[in-house]
Amino acid sequence: MKRTYYLETFGCQMNVVDSERIGELLATIGYQPVSQPDDARLILLNTCAVRDKAVRKAYGHLGRFKPLKERNPELIIGLGGCIAQQEGAELLGNFPYLDLVFGTHNIHRLPELVDEVEANRVRCEETEFLDRETRLRLFPSRSDSDQVARFVTVMQGCDNYCSYCVVPYVRGREISRPSGEVLTEVRALASSGVREVTLIGQNVNSYGLRDAEELSFADLLEQVNRVDGIERIRFTTSHPKDLSPQLIDCFGRLGKLCWHLHLPVQSGSNDILRAMNRGYSREHYLEIVRHLKEVCPQIRLSTDIIVGFPGESDEDFNATLDLLAQVCFADIYSFIFSPRRGTAAADLADNTPAAIKQQRFDRMLKLQQELSRQVWQQDVGQVCQVLVEGESKQGAGQLFGRTTWGRIVNFAGERSQVGQTVPVHITRSFKNSQLGELVCQDKLTP
Ligand code: SAH
Ligand code: SF4
């Protein structure tokens, strides 16, 4: 059977980058991607364990592949990512049709593991964490790209141990990639046509803090800002406790840094923030927001919120609603607390009924929908600079790109404009995107 693979990715941007790496590695042993699992010799799931919903979804999809295996015993099914890291060899016991389990530090071994399964029809599991030196060698990196906007990994892992979060257990210790390598990659990407880079890691704000010789994240941004060809810079994810005043000032100083910051707050209640082990208070967070808006009045913020953390009272929840109204986030990503095995919060007493949590969640969403609508509506009638990323799904002659705030804008244009930053008159604003019309350059007032 032809060497073809079907890959499904769950969860965060880190997994998106890991999946790209998986694709590159599989190409080295002659595997080509296919869009239907029925056409694949190898099916891989790159999973997320952050919330129960994501875990159940991955298992649901895995179950769907069982009949395929029964029809085609040659099929290889593998599961990687955070669930693999957490469950390890037990997965092979629980899912007899699973051939391969690989952890978050073991992606580089995929070619050998797949070859091994294929040649000897053995079942493999590899989930051990690697030492620092090896991890430094294996940072995902690329030197060219046909895309306009790319992720660049600057750090991996997390040492924060927020009490609800499984990430430190499944991604390992925090490690920063040497700044020289990051800059080499950004320069190479710029030469191959990339115009926007998003520096990513679980907590990019603590970049370099553990190494006295390394640049701070603010200094790294400054260097990236100097790279010719790069027009826009973003970064994610930020932790409020490590968002230094120097880093905040970057939003006022660095011309290429986009006016958007994702800054997860999780809760507006100091008691809950303490129980979450977040390391900042509501007041500190609001002070950061004030400082950000002072140095960059146009900045728009997005955040993550957990509703129904164990012990969250009505008062705590109302404090979160109050914070949302005060800050006026452009977007929020909200989740009902989901206990994760092995984390500190999993053992906390939780007396709030599920129905109350759902009510809180719905109330919050309703408030935020109105706030988001107000924020994005401000753009209607304005001309925004849009970096064109490609042809839109809407069909021929339609392009899509993003504003500095990260909003997708669809508009009519020509393919040759992909990669350019063009002025677009925003005509409508929807829940997740906007519609616009290209402004002829000669009609623009200087
Ligand atoms: N490193 C990032 C992302 C962590 S996971 C950060 O620190 O923000 C992404 C989001 O999932 C978190 O911000 C949090 O809001 C949510 N999350 C994590 N663990 C959760 C849990 N056990 N239950 C519900 N939501 C959770
Ligand atoms: Fe999880 Fe907290 Fe680390 Fe984010 S900072 S990955 S929420 S432990």
Q: Is it true that domain 383-443 has CATH number 2.40.170.20?
A: no
Cα–Cα distances in angstroms (integers) from residue 200 to residues 204, 217, 292, 352, 427, in the given order: 7, 11, 20, 35, 32
Cα–Cα distances in angstroms (integers) from residue 175 to residues 36, 144, 155, 278, in the given order: 36, 24, 6, 20
CA distance 379 to 375: 8
CA distance 75 to 73: 5
Which atom of ligand 1 approaches the CA of 304 most closely?
Answer: 15
State the distance from the centre of ligand 2 to the C-alpha of 192, rounded, in angstroms. Answer: 33
How many other β-carbons are positioned within 10 Å of the β-carbon of residue 351?
9
| Cβ–Cβ under 8 Å, residues 328 and 355 | no
Host H or E run for residue 137: helix 132-137
For residue 239 and ligand 1, the question of a CB distance below 6 A is answered with yes
Fold that domain 261-377 belongs to in CATH: Transcription Regulator spoIIAA (3.30.750)
CA distance 327 to 324: 5
Atom 5 of ligand 2, residue of closest alpha carbon: 160
Summarize pLDDT for 351-389 with one digit per residue, the tens. 999 999 999 999 999 999 999 999 999 999 999 999 999
| Cβ–Cβ under 8 Å, residues 424 and 389 | no
Q: Do domains 261-377 and 383-443 have the same CATH topology?
A: no
For residue 340 and ligand 1, the question of a CB distance below 6 A is answered with yes
Asked if pLDDT for residue 417 goes beyond 50, the answer is yes
Atom 2 of ligand 2, residue of closest alpha carbon: 162
Collapsing DSSP states into helix, strand and coil, what is residue 380?
Answer: coil
Written as one letter, the residue type at 182 is V
The best mutation among 165, 276, 278, 285 to test binding of ligand 1, ranked by most ligand atoms within 8 Å of the C-beta, falls on: 165
Short-list 57, 70, 71, CA closest to 79? 57
CA distance 121 to 347: 41
| Cβ–Cβ under 8 Å, residues 112 and 106 | no
Summarize pLDDT for 189-215 with one digit per residue, the tens. 999 999 999 999 999 999 999 888 999
Interval 307-316 mean pLDDT: 98
State the distance from the centre of ligand 1 to the C-alpha of 165, rounded, in angstroms. Answer: 6
The best mutation among 86, 162, 169, 209 to test binding of ligand 2, ranked by most ligand atoms within 8 Å of the C-beta, falls on: 162
For the chain, give every domain's residue range. Answer: 4-128, 130-258, 261-377, 383-443
pLDDT band, very low/low/confident/very high, at 426 (cuts 50, 70, 90): very high
May I ask the CATH architecture of the domain 4-128? Answer: 3-Layer(aba) Sandwich (3.40)
Q: Provide the 8-state DSSP code for 307.
A: E
Q: What is the pLDDT of residue 441?
A: 67
Summarize pLDDT for 20-37 with one digit per residue, the tens. 999 999 999 999 999 999
Summarize pLDDT for 123-134 with one digit per residue, the tens. 999 999 999 999
CA distance 165 to 342: 9
Which atom of ligand 1 approaches the CA of 264 most closely?
Answer: 8
Task: Report residue 235 as tokens.
Answer: 């970064």
Q: Provide the 8-state DSSP code for 343.
A: S
For residue 13 and ligand 1, the question of a CB distance below 6 A is answered with no
Atom 1 of ligand 2, residue of closest alpha carbon: 165
Q: What is the pLDDT of residue 446?
A: 41
CA distance 309 to 290: 27
Task: Report residue 177 as tokens.
Answer: 């990639």
Which atom of ligand 2 approaches the CA of 168 most closely?
Answer: 8
Interval 402-406 mean pLDDT: 98
Asked if pLDDT for residue 443 goes beyond 70, the answer is no
May I ask the CATH architecture of the domain 130-258? Answer: 2-Layer Sandwich (3.30)
Task: Report residue 22 as tokens.
Answer: 């998986």
Ligand 2 environment, Cβ below 6 A: 158, 160-162, 165, 167-168, 202-203, 239
CA distance 357 to 276: 17
| Cβ–Cβ under 8 Å, residues 268 and 321 | yes
State the distance from the centre of ligand 2 to the C-alpha of 263, rounded, in angstroms. Answer: 12
Which atom of ligand 1 approaches the CA of 165 most closely?
Answer: 19
For residue 54 and ligand 1, the question of a CB distance below 6 A is answered with no
| Cβ–Cβ under 8 Å, residues 110 and 7 | no
State the distance from the centre of ligand 2 to the C-alpha of 193, rounded, in angstroms. Answer: 33
Asked if pLDDT for residue 394 goes beyond 80, the answer is no
* pTM attached to this predicted model: 0.95
CA distance 239 to 209: 13
Host H or E run for residue 4: strand 4-9
CA 206 to centroid of chain Cα atoms: 17
Short-list 293, 229, 294, 217, CA closest to 260? 293
pLDDT band, very low/low/confident/very high, at 442 (cuts 50, 70, 90): low
State the distance from the centre of ligand 1 to the C-alpha of 18, rounded, in angstroms. Answer: 19
Q: Which residues contact 228 (CB under 8 A, 6 or more apart)?
A: 190
CA distance 50 to 266: 14
Question: Mean pLDDT across the chain, nearest whole number?
Answer: 96
Query: Residue length, the chain?
Result: 446
For residue 266 and ligand 1, the question of a CB distance below 6 A is answered with yes
Host H or E run for residue 434: strand 433-438
Q: Which residues contact 133 (CB under 8 A, 6 or more apart)?
A: none
Task: Report residue 226 as tokens.
Answer: 């100097």
Atom 24 of ligand 1, residue of closest alpha carbon: 337
Angle between helices 179-191 and 217-225 (to 10 degrees): 20
Phi, psi of 244 (to 5 degrees): -75, 160
Q: What is the pLDDT of residue 445?
A: 45
